[in-house]
Amino acid sequence: MTPKPALSLTCSEEVAAARREGRPLVALETTILTHGMPWPANVETALEVEAIIRAGGAVPATMAILEGVPRAGLTRPELEALGRATGVAKASRRDLAVLAARRATGATTVAGTMVLAGMANIAVFVTGGLGGVHRGATRSLDISADLTELSRTPVGVVCAGVKSILDIGLTLEVLETQGVPVLGYGTDRFPAFYVADSGHAVPARVDSPEEAARVLAIQRAWGLGGLVLANPIPAAEALAGEAIEAVIAETLADAEAQGVRGKAITPFVLAELNRRTDGQSLRANIALIRHNASLGAAVAVALAALR
Ligand code: PSU
Ligand code: MN
């Protein structure tokens, strides 16, 4: 007989203790581990990001569904097993209940991680890049569930903007429609992952973790949903915009020619970019997520100080 489904979240000891003591917590996703970066850089980066968050005075809560159980805080062996596994499901909002009912394992996307962070009452979440509106979405209607999740779940997502594998202008339009604040951290420009400036302005700017935390506290108190805190990649780590843009355009054309669709597109493009840039895109990806981890920890600490 199939066991009964797990109806609530299971926290690691570290996460449970932090919740009891009201210490600042930072959620982390796992799709980046299973679909965003190759082994072993994926596991090394995940462990490093957790260490940066601890050094910043907060507690990391890496999210996944393991054998049907929604989890906040993974052990090192669990992280390594996920990072080495192939064929793990990519879990967005709509996949969570199906995976849990089947006692299956899934790596959570930004949307899926936000849902679990909401269940654990964790206010801050650090990742690399958000999903968004895909190029050609006026025909395909391929718009990441990350954007609608931001409108309903009160979590502040620290990211380096979105990759230009997406249509950045349309992504910002949908975030506006969904009522999602987009805050530039120390910048008036919306960042585009590998480059600090996408060519689009941000609707609002903050210049300190405290300022970001104040906006997030009000979003949460008023039930207004989440927000995006867009943290530009440090100048020393940024890639040359035109060169990376050309590789992205080529890779997207190949994806289309090979019939790659839906949730398979982002993982396909990330793996191909890494291969075609000789690891440059991966190095930039690692640098920016580390940078986001220290900002995320600082925002979580500032938010805890407001309570
Ligand atoms: N963008 C990146 N790296 C990633 C992702 C997006 O630069 O790893 C992952 C995130 O987990 C994000 C998901 O939530 O892809 C979006 O997938 P989709 O486009 O299928 O919604
Ligand atoms: Mn999609």
- Say what the pLDDT of residue 222 is: 98
Which residue's CA lies nearest to atom 16 of ligand 1? 131
pTM for this structure?
Answer: 0.97
Which two structure tokens, joined as six digits, stand for 27?
């959620």
Using a 6 Å CB cutoff, which residues line ligand 1? 29, 31-32, 36, 92, 109-110, 128-129, 131, 144-146, 163, 193, 263, 266, 270
- Say what the pLDDT of residue 307 is: 87
- Say what the pLDDT of residue 7 is: 87
Q: Confirm whether 29 is a catalytic residue.
A: yes
Give the active site residue among 90, 149, 163, 272: 163
What 286-290 contacts at long range (C-beta under 8 Å, 24+ apart), as own/partner pairs, is 286/37, 286/41, 286/45, 287/233, 287/234, 287/237, 288/128, 288/160, 288/193, 288/231, 288/233, 288/234, 288/237, 289/32, 289/45, 289/49, 289/126, 289/127, 289/128, 289/160, 290/45, 290/48, 290/49, 290/52
Please list the ranges in the chain whose pLDDT falls under 70. 1-2
- Say what the pLDDT of residue 1 is: 61
Compute, in angstroms, the gap from residue 300 CA to the centroid of ligand 2: 29
- Say what the pLDDT of residue 4 is: 87
Can you point out the beta strands (E) in the chain? 10-11, 25-28, 59-66, 69-72, 89-91, 106-108, 124-126, 156-159, 182-185, 204-206, 227-230
CA separation for the pair 36, 285 (Å, rounded): 9
For tokens 């064929």, the residue is 87
